[in-house]
Amino acid sequence: MKTTNKFIITVLLIAILTNPVFGYDGMEGNNSGANEGDIAQIANEDIDPANTTQSDQNIILIRHLVEVDAAQFEEQNRIYVRETLIYKNIGDKHFSGSLRTWVPEGIEGIKVGKVAMMMNGNVQPLLLDDSKENIVSWTDTIKFNDPLPPLYAVEYVVSVESEGWLIKSRHFSKKFVSPTWINKAPLSIILKVTKSNEEAVIIKDEMGNNIQSSGNPSDVDNSVLYNWESPKFKEINIEFSRSSVDYLQIALYLIILLLIVLVFTYPTIRKKSPKLQEIEEKIRNSLKREPESEEQQGNDEEEVSEEEPEEEDNEEPGSEDEDISGNANDELETEKNELLSNLEKLEKDYASGDLIDEEYEELRNSYQEKLKKIDRKIE
């Protein structure tokens, strides 16, 4: 009899694995073909109210199937979960009361139903009791001498956000804790994980240790089946991870970062590198000579215009010397020495990289022009 019951339960579990119980948008459910009143009548027939208890101390969980589908609603950042629980009454009275299971936070669209094994696996929807602290419960009756323990289906969708930059990961946790969890029961846990082709799966317990399946995991279509007989853990944490590395984008970021580093470190590098200063000087000279070779006529006109101020200087020295503060030779010599000192300091600042070319050229021309005026006035 036990072998027959185990075979029937196994067949029904396989049927459940291949078809959603209720079904969500885009999924075909298995909630048709039976009258709910007929199922309820079958479940409660031959139950003597006087031989019934509300205590669940003799209710044990002998099978728990958890199906986690992370591929179907991946674009919506949602994971579809279906749990199938098989409770058994090992007492001497019928049980009529609350059954429970733990669900994660943030779930939506939760549905609970009782699978009628004698009605081609049809489902009788059950009303949920008030949920407290992630525990959902429903009320039903379990016979103590039932040769085929009842199966209950719990379906819901949980929202999850991808985390990480180089490696994107999503997490789902399931705790096997509730008043109907009895450690002495010969519990069997089956986990079915469905993922996308690009994802890798890591399963850990509540302590962060990797969990190995009791047997070799088996592939079913694009899913993997794990099973554990009498497990010691009380929590399963599933991590779905995929590499989101865009090497072209990373290369672009590295180039931008390198350019930023060069901008901030260039003055120091230039100061310590005479060769780099020599290269800069060659580049400046080449840029100055290039327009001269292309526009000789224009340069001839510029030479003429450059000579004209000298003639004006000779003709009207008083008008150009207005910015010279000193009148006596001593004062002019003092101002000349200050200009020479400023000019020497200017060359050092330019060589150290503290000045850009435009500032250097402007200040040097100004100092040299003032020196010329002072020399003329001294003469």
Confidence of residue 319 (pLDDT cuts 50, 70, 90): very low
The average pLDDT across 346-358 equals 82
Q: Is the whole-model pTM more than 0.85?
A: no
- For residue range 10-22, what is the model confidence (pLDDT) as tens digits? 544 555 554 555 6
Low-confidence winner among 72-76, 79-83, 166-170, 293-297 (lowest mean pLDDT): 293-297
186 shares a domain with 63: yes
48 shares a domain with 69: yes
163 shares a domain with 151: yes
Percent share of the chain, pLDDT over 70: 71
- For residue range 356-368, what is the model confidence (pLDDT) as tens digits? 888 888 888 888 8
What local confidence, expressed as pLDDT, does residue 239 receive?
A: 92
Q: What is the mean pLDDT of the chain?
A: 76
Question: Looking at the predicted structure, is the pLDDT value of residue 269 above 90?
Answer: no
**Boundary residue ending a domain (221, 243, 265):** 243
The average pLDDT across 350-359 equals 80
152 shares a domain with 211: yes
What local confidence, expressed as pLDDT, does residue 152 receive?
A: 92
170 shares a domain with 34: yes
Instruction: Provide the domain count of the chain.
Output: 2
265 shares a domain with 208: no
Low-confidence winner among 115-119, 207-211, 305-309, 367-371 (lowest mean pLDDT): 305-309
Low-confidence winner among 100-114, 172-186, 206-220, 233-247 (lowest mean pLDDT): 172-186
**Boundary residue ending a domain (224, 243, 262):** 243
**Contacting residues for 324 by C-beta, under 8 A, at least 6 apart:** 332, 335, 370, 373, 374, 377
- Give the C-alpha separation, 97 to 53, whole Å: 8
168 shares a domain with 145: yes
Instruction: Please state the separation of Cα 63 from the chain's center in Å.
Output: 35
265 shares a domain with 221: no
- For residue range 236-257, what is the model confidence (pLDDT) as tens digits? 999 998 765 556 777 888 899 9
What local confidence, expressed as pLDDT, does residue 294 receive?
A: 53
56 shares a domain with 94: yes
The average pLDDT across 248-268 equals 85
257 shares a domain with 238: no
- Give the C-alpha separation, 6 to 148, whole Å: 9
Kindly give the interhelix angle for 357-378 and 329-352, rounded to the nearest 10 degrees: 160
Specify whether the CB–CB gap between 197 and 72 falls below 8 A: no
What local confidence, expressed as pLDDT, does residue 36 receive?
A: 44
Q: Where in the sequence is the domain holding 325, given as residue range(s)?
A: 247-378
- Give the C-alpha separation, 98 to 96, whole Å: 7
CATH number at residue 9: 2.60.40.1730
Of residues 137, 42, 146, the one with CA closest to residue 97:
137
